[in-house]
Amino acid sequence: SSEPLSETAVHITWKLPIITNGNITNFTLTYWITDMPARFQQASVAGTSRELTIRDLSPRTNYTASLVALNFAGVGNPGTLKFSTIFTPEDMSQAGKKKAHHELAGVGIGFASFLAIVAVAALIIYAIIRAHRRRSVS
């Protein structure tokens, strides 16, 4: 979720992934102005952290972010988040009363699962080739 702190700062929080495939070493947040994805920035925090404050953002701007967890197994599946910096002084006063929540979904370690699927697929292909060769020899 995100909470605007000022015209140029947003506080972001997230939950631990359901499946971690080991201890998470860190989280990396990549964020960009929604209409300018080529101009991204990154911030990383320790794997024990569940929050990050981003500062020096452009005022009155829509952003998109991607959060990934990292550990010995690799990089997890990204969770996405859209947030905005505060647009007007009225918005700023409302921020104290009501958080601008946006759900961050899908963060998890998927690399180990991917490797398991590739290994099973390789075994199936190997078995098919072996069976085909046996038929060809007979």
Model confidence over 91-113: pLDDT tens digits? 556 655 444 434 344 444 344 44
> What is this structure's pTM?
0.63
Q: Compute the distance between CA of residue 65 and CA of residue 56 in angstroms, rounded to an integer.
A: 15
User: Is the distance from CB of 108 to CB of 19 less than 8 angstroms?
Assistant: yes
Which sign does the torsion angle of CA 86, 91, 94, 96 carry?
A: positive
pLDDT at 21: 80
In this predicted structure, the answer to whether residue 10 has a pLDDT above a threshold of 80 is yes
In this predicted structure, the answer to whether residue 27 has a pLDDT above a threshold of 80 is yes
Strand partners, 67: 29, 79
Q: Compute the distance between CA of residue 14 and CA of residue 7 in angstroms, rounded to an integer.
A: 22
pLDDT at 115: 45
In this predicted structure, the answer to whether residue 132 has a pLDDT above a threshold of 70 is no
Model confidence over 42-89: pLDDT tens digits? 999 999 999 999 999 999 899 999 999 999 888 888 999 999 987 666
pLDDT at 116: 47
User: For residue 60, is it left (φ>0), alpha (ψ between -120 and 50) or beta?
Assistant: left
Amino acid, single-letter form, for residue 120? V
Cite the DSSP H helix spans in the chain: 89-97, 111-137
- 19 pLDDT band (50/70/90 cuts)? confident
Amino acid, single-letter form, for residue 128? I
